[in-house]
Every structure is written in C-alpha cells, then in structure tokens.
Chain A
C-alpha cells in the first residue's frame, strides 16, 4: 500500500468513504421501508474509487457517471440532502425528483448524470471533452476564462462489451480529446462475470488498440486510486489526449435490490470483504499513528448527523405538483421582444 504522509488528508479520504458507506446503508434501510422505490444500485465496497478519484478533478472539469453514482455525486459535493430527496422522488431533489437513484444531475458542479444505459455516457463524455478542447482559455468562446478542462467518464466492466466503448475510445484518441475513461471493474456486468462476456479480460489492455495509455489500479486502495488518477489527470490536462484507468474493485451488495445473487458464491464475497477499502484504510491509518478512536467517533457522529439531516430534508420536501408533469421536456420559449 501507498504511504500516507499527511494526517488531515488521510482522515479526509476515510471520512469521504464513510459518508458513502453510511449514506448507502441508510438508503438500503429506506428502500425496505418503501421510502425509496425503483432500482437502487448500491456502491458499497467500491467507495475507494469515487473517494480517491473525484477530488482529482477541479470545478471546470466535467464528470459523467453511471447508474451506480451515489458516491460520485456525494464526493463531487452535491449536498447529501438533495441526493436523498432525489431518491425519495421529491421536488427538492438534485433533479427535481425526475430521475431518482440512477439519474443524479448537478449543473453547478458539472455533474452530467447519472446515466443508466450501459456505455451510453462515453459518447457524451467525448463530446464534453470536444467542447473543452474547442474552448481553451485562449479561445474567445471561453468567456469565463476557465482553465484547461478535462472530462472524467466513469463506466463499469459491462460497458466494455458495448460498441460505444470502442467507438468512443477511437474518436477520443483520434481527436486527442481531454477525457479520462475510468472503468470501475467490479467483475460483474449485472450477474455475468467478466470471463463469461469478454475474450480479453484485461480491460486496460483494450486501450492499446486505440493507442491510449492505460493502467490497472487496485480499486480497493484509496491511495492507489488517488495516485493513479492524479497522474492520469495531469497527463490529460497537459493536452496529451485521453487516458484509461481500470480500477479493480468489487461490489459487496447485490446488483440492485431485486438481485438474488445466484451468480456468485458467498465465499467469494466474503473473501473480497477481507479487502474492504474502509477497514483496510483504517488499519493503515492506525498503524501509522494517524487515527484514534476519538477521531472515528467524531467522524461517525458528524456523518450520522449529516445523514439524519438529509433524511429530514427529503421527508420535508414537496412533491412536484401534477400540473408540472410535462415541465422541462422542452426549454420554455422566451417571451417575445
């Protein structure tokens, strides 16, 4: 494991992973109480990826996520209350309740979904990166004087079987676009193991075919995720074109709340839980003398308060009035004159 030098930084990474874990445990509970409906895809087990990777991106960068994006939005800074309200389907949710669990959006933080068609976000990310390339700080189109923006595109191992994955890597490399292809390989495309759907299971190697540099990273190690992502962001921001990272990780919970998990053994799950990114990182911090019981208590209490406030924000939130059903299908016409 990578060595941590800075206590505050280490505690912050731990805190962020715990925020995701506790938030999602609450989501599962609220789901069983009928407060949250539809599909709910939990990220539990994979927290080191979002917590390590997302802070490597600045406010001018764009983030494109998947339907398992609770952690990404949380780390990006979308308030927990607006995420919980979205899960409730309330009008004070981050997408006015129109999207739910799979469709978090946050324009202010350049968070472009929350997209639930596997690989469907890759072309979108290529386009966002194209816009960034066409509007560098020197461009008269760049009115805000933005820095060199890059786009982070998250997707899972299932996405690499889709044509859009291959088309997007090719186009991004051909046009040298500032996009990071960030594959969260949790070994299962829903219930189909990687080896049952890919002839080449080494995902990072697929980037070779498109002349894109790539690296596979231990996705259960938050420091490894962070270091690799930072390096990749620097490479892309310098104008070198796209980069692919494969985070090797594992989902501890079922694919969604409907999944009976017939496709993997309890022993396999138990084995991966030995590599729980939060437990491991806690041990590492303790071993380095950087974490005390009191730190953990303080952190735990603050997170519990944040979650309680988020639930209360969602509970108190209004339902979108029925007369607004078709609102936002189109942009309202500007009044004449």
Chain B
C-alpha cells in the first residue's frame, strides 16, 4: 500500500470491514452523502448503498444506542461520532448500556459494536471541538479503548476491532487525518493487546499515545542531538492497558515522562504514572514526569492553543528537568 494518509487508511479499513462481513454497516452524522466530516467514508455510499452506509439525524444518544441494539440483534455496526465532544450526548448509552449489559445480564449478551470518533486539538476549532476525553472512556470497565497513531494502526486496529465480541471505542486524533505515513502491510493483522516501542533508547522512556506520539518522536530526535537516548512507547490501547511493556521500558531507562493531550488533573497520564510507581518504583532514578494539556478550555487563537497543548519543546524541557 506504500505511503498513504491516515484518512485513507481509515477508509481502507472501513471498506475491508464492509466487504468482509455482510453484517457490518456504518452509521453516523454525514457519513453518507457528505462522505464523512473528515472524508473517511468518502465514496462508500456509492460502493455499498444506503442500507449499509446510513446517514443519521443529529441524535448521538439514539444512533449510538441503536448501534448497541443492532449489535445485540446480531449485526456488526460501526458507528461514527463526529467528535469526542459530541460523544458526550451519547454517554448514557455508552456507560449505562454498552459497558454494562454483558455483566449485568450475567454474560448472556455481548455487544460487538465499534464506535469511532475524532479527538484532540491543534486545528483552531476552539473549546467545543478540541478536547481529548479518551482518558475518561478508559476509566470504564466493559469497553476497549484504542488510540491508533500510525496509518498501519488506523487500518489494522479497525479490522482487529471487528473481531472483538465487546464494544470497542476508537479515538482518531483529528490532526492525524492528513498525515502521510508508510503503511506496513506485513504488520497485519495488528494485535489489540500490546503497546509498541516506536523508537528504542536507553536514557529515558517517553510514554504516549495518539496524536502526541509524533510530538514525542520529534522530542526524541532533538534529545538525540544532545546525546540523550529516548525510548518512545506508543500505548496504542488505553483499556486494557499493557503496563508490562511500559514497565520493561522503564526498568531499562530508569526514567519516564508521560505525554497526554488530556488535562493534567485526573489524566490518563496520571494513571500510567501511578502504575509505574506501583510496578517499577525501585527501578526509577527520579519521579515520573508528565506533559499534559494546560487546564483551560482549548482556546481559539493559534498561539494560545499551541501553548495549551503538549509540544516537543515542553517534552524536551520535562526530560531536562528529570535528568538534571
């Protein structure tokens, strides 16, 4: 497949999902005629028809809930929610139904549902379209939470999610859609169990996921010029978290910075940091650092938005602090 954009990778995954299983259908706001807000489903309506590519009303709670019901009824729905901010309108269905029904029914029902949504900031769309709430979702037992950061994962994790018997939530960082990357066909099928080491290093572990992966890799490049060898861990899956890959890395480097676009307080980075402390405290040469978003609704002007988010220079600075 060579070099493709993240958007093309998502579309390729959707097309394969629709081709491979007649029970699969896609529904969401503007996924059909419009081609998807981020053009992920462009062309799919013509290819698969309106029974399988379903434009929905602006009723997040009901079309996510209908996805749950259709999954209970034997289908394999893929629901697209335009952005994570809009998914809050569907939280009742997600938290109270999707995540609970298997357990609450004593294991009688499974819900093989995929919900995809855009997350994250960096496009100057202000405080109602820019947040990173995947850490909230990762708090909820009963669901799986994915954060594909590469084009290979964008396609591969969607296809892997299709084989899961329980609800899977896929968070696609909106900034990544136009990013081009090398699609590694040999990596398929990808697993949904392990974090990935995206760059090996010996002096410090930079632990991150989603859109922040690319900032961490850029920071690692800059650190290399100073002679600091940073290892970059891409968590990929926020729930269930593969903490063992993280701990193995930290035991080797003895230092860690966690980078997370969520707000610092109660962030997913806080969870990772706590688990490092629990699992590798005596291997650490210093406290675990965190680079998170500043605690402000994401502002519109570029200079303020940039300042609110994790950036390569902030990551480099955090590493300097830790390494004295």
Q: Is the CB of B59 within 8 A of A95?
A: no
Judge whether A131 and B72 touch: CB under 8 Å: yes
Contact residue among A106, A167, A170, A329 (Cβ-Cβ distance under 8 Å from B103): A329
Chain A residues with Cβ below 8 Å from B51 are 134
Q: How far, in whole Å, are A290 and B108 apart by their CA atoms in the complex? A: 41
A168, closest chain B residue (CB): B62
Query: What string of 1s and 0s marks CB contacts (under 8 Å) between B84-96 and chain A?
Result: 0000000011001
Q: Mark A145-161, 1 if CB is under 8 A from B, else 0.
A: 00000010000000000
Stretch at the interface among B63-71, B151-159, B250-258, B313-321: B63-71
- Contact between B109 and A105, CB atoms less than 8 A apart: yes
Out of B64, B65, B69, B108, name the residue touching A107 (CB < 8 Å): B108
Residues of B near A114 (CB, < 8 A) are: 104-105
Contact with B74, one of A105, A131, A175 (Cβ below 8 angstroms): A131
Chain B nearest CB, measured from A76 CB (Å): 14
Known: A120-B92, A126-B66, A167-B59. A105 touches B105 (CB 8 A): yes
Contacts of A95 in B (CB 8 A): 104-106, 108
Interface size on B, residues (CB 8 A): 43
Q: Is the CB of A120 within 8 A of B96?
A: yes
Chain A interface size, under 10 / 10 to 19 / 20 to 34 / 35 or more: 35 or more
Cα A164 to Cα B89 with chains together (Å): 10
Instruction: For B57, give its contact among A134, A171, A327 (CB under 8 Å).
Output: A171
Q: Which residue of chain B lies nearest to A328 when distances are taken between CB atoms in the complex?
A: B107
Known contacts A135-B74, A171-B66: does B61 contact A98 (CB below 8 Å)?
no
Is A129 interfacial (CB 8 A cutoff)? yes
Q: How far is the CA of A107 from the CA of B59 in the complex (A)?
A: 28
B residues in contact (CB < 8 Å) with A: 22-23, 25, 51, 54, 56-57, 59, 61-75, 77, 92-93, 96-97, 101-110, 141-142, 144, 165-166
Q: Which 6 A-B pairs have the closest CB atoms?
A: A127-B69, A123-B65, A131-B73, A96-B106, A105-B105, A328-B107
15 pairs from A and B in contact (CB 8 Å cutoff): A96-B107, A98-B106, A105-B105, A105-B108, A112-B72, A114-B105, A115-B97, A120-B93, A127-B65, A127-B67, A127-B71, A127-B72, A128-B69, A130-B75, A140-B22
